[in-house]
Amino acid sequence: MPPAYSGSTVKHPSPPQSATSLPHAPRDESSSRMLKYVIMMGVRVACFVAMILVTPYGWYTWLFAAGAVFLPYIAVVIANVGQEFRAAPAETVTLPALDQRAEQPSPTPHTQVITIAETPSTPRDA
């Protein structure tokens, strides 16, 4: 029976993630979320007012009451999770220096090569 651990592991590095594909930070989109919440609360207030002022009372009064009761929950859900559905998909970034399959430019025949050689220094007589 072979051992459970052979003594070697291979780690496969994950590709880097593009900064342009990251979702917006919540603090950056707070004004958008606040605007959605305020609009929904405005609709809730309109439901309260319509529930009282629209006469004769009927089935629509119950509809306005349901809007006034359930809109706060709906407003919180829409304001907080609405942006997650519109996040851009992650893009894979390929860097030529890290990609071994990338073509290396072929050297031109007239390339000059400079060689620097150092000679050891001789100790001075004191």
Structure confidence by residue, pLDDT tens digits, 55-93: 888 999 999 999 999 999 998 888 877 555 455 566 666
Q: Give the number of other Cβ atoms within 10 Å of residue 122's Cβ.
A: 6
109 Cβ neighbours under 8 A, 6+ residues apart: none
Mean pLDDT of 15-40: 76
> What is the pTM (predicted TM-score) of this model?
0.47
Residue 45: name the closest of 74, 73, 69 by CA.
69
Mean pLDDT of 41-50: 94
Beta bridge partners of 92: 17
